[in-house]
Structure formats: C-alpha cells, structure tokens
Amino acid sequence: MYEIKPEQSIALLQELHILTADGKMNQDSRRKLKQVYHLAQFIEPLMQEIVNDQQEIHLVDHGAGKSYLGFILYDLFFHKLVKDGKYPGGSHIYGIESRDELVQKSQELARRLGFSAMSFVNLSVLESIASPLLPKRVDVVTALHACDTTTDDAIQFALQKKARYVVLAPCCQAEVAAVLRKNKGKQLGGNILVEMWRHPLHTREFGSHITNVLRCLQLESYGYQVSVTELVGWEHSMKNELIIATFHDLPRKRPQQRLQALLQLLGLEEMGSRFC
C-alpha cells in the first residue's frame, strides 16, 4: 500500500479518481500517485526557496493533462503556507493544456475545491510563450511526461521567461530518431558510432536518449546547472528520467561548443535550430 500524506486532501484525491469513494486505490492509481508525490518532493523545496527569497511564486505546468501535479502541489504546498500564515498573495499555479475538455474540468474542480490561485489555459506550449494570459515572470516551469516536442517547447518557454527552475520528466520524442534514421546510410561507411543506432530498435532508443542529452546541454548553454535522476523505479515506468535545471548564470561557451560538436558528430546539424 502506498501511503497518502497526512496533510493531503482526501476529497481532492477522490475528485482526481486516484481514490475511490470508499478511499481505495487500484494499482494504476497507486503508481500515478507515487510518481506525482516523488516529483513533488523535488519541487516543493524549490518553491520554498522562491517564497523565502521573494514572497510569491508563479509556477507553470505544461502539458498539464488532468493537472494531477498542479492540484497536488497546490494542496500540499499552498495550503501549508496559508496554515502557517505565510501565504504570499500573488502566488499562482498555471496549468497549460491544449485539450479544452480537460481545461474546463480542471477549472470546475479548482472552483469546487476553492483553489483560487489556480488557472488553466487552453493553449499549446508553443502558443503560451507569448500569451498575455501568463505572467511575464515565471519562477518554476514543469512538464510531466509531456509527449513529442512539448518538452522542448517547455524548455523554450522557460528560457524566454528566464525561469529560475525547470523540472522535466520527458516522454517519447521521435524527431531526433527520424533524423538519425534518415542520415544513417550516408554515415555508415565513415562513422563507427552509427553502429549504436543501426538497428531500428536502437535508433528509437538511442534517439530518445540523445534527445535528453541535447536538452541538458541546451539548458547548460543558457547558464543553468543541470542534474539528471530517476523519477520512480523502472518497474513503474520506462519513461523514468527527471531533469532538474537551476539558473545560476553559469559560463555558457563550453556547453555551447559541446552541443555543436555532438550535433556534428551524430549528423544532427539540421536539429540545431531546436537545441541551440
């Protein structure tokens, strides 16, 4: 049995269908709750640092889906601030989701629960970068299992907003694998590294891995310190990577050079506009 946090709202977990009406969980719900709790353990200290420094926090969750992460962060963190008398009035959590029916359901749920400092916006991540519906200053950017190029768009959003923290759990992404596949024949004779992605299954897996390596270098090339860890155990999900980036205004030249060198080595120069 996976333990529910004592301060967690049972009503919220029931509304999110993580708990049944009689307070039970199935295996899928237990796995989902474990993932979100584990991610919250990384994010809550970052939020606390921001509140300590500037008294309010703006968090934007991209590819929010049913907004499990946003709701649970609000319930665990914002409610604690209110209880401790330290709630900064301008703090807000924004959920970005392109499926309008999910946005409407999240809006209704936030109203029912009285989560007044939550907003849900029907936009793609790319559209959200310039949207006036979001604040100019964003402190934390999250994207949990955002598929395809949504994670890359979330990184662009964070860079444009100069976010202090970026927390990403990347999902499937096929662009890099497609370019590796396309250029494979031209490189087979002269680049022994092509053996690492010569077979179709390896192309997909290597492409996924290299995508995340390039994302890390991209963030480092903008002055972020990056760490990579597991989100949960491999028995729960194969999409298990967690990338946490903290802006420290670090030197940019070396990671930029290494990013360019890696793109050239792998025959991915055409991907430069996405990662550079």
**Tens-digit pLDDT profile for residues 15-40:** 998 888 887 887 888 888 888 888 89
Where is pLDDT greater, at 160 or 35?
160
* Alpha-helix runs per DSSP H in the chain: 10-15, 27-54, 68-73, 79-83, 100-113, 125-128, 150-161, 175-187, 200-220, 253-265, 272-275
What local confidence, expressed as pLDDT, does residue 160 receive?
A: 96
Q: Are 161 and 138 in contact (CB under 8 A)?
A: yes
CA 130, CA 238: separation in Å to the nearest integer? 33
Which residue, chain included where needed, has tokens 């897996």?
205
pLDDT above 80: residue 84: no
193 Cβ partners below 8 Å, 6+ apart?
265, 266
Q: Which strands sit side by side in the sheet containing 224-230, from one edge to the other?
A: 118-122, 92-97, 58-62, 140-144, 165-169, 241-247, 224-230
Where is pLDDT greater, at 80 or 132?
132
Q: Out of 96-100, 109-113, 147-151, which region has the weakest mean confidence (pLDDT)?
A: 147-151
What local confidence, expressed as pLDDT, does residue 235 receive?
A: 46
What local confidence, expressed as pLDDT, does residue 239 receive?
A: 64
Q: Is the dihedral of CA 14, 17, 21, 25 positive or negative?
A: negative
Predicted TM-score (pTM) of the model is: 0.91
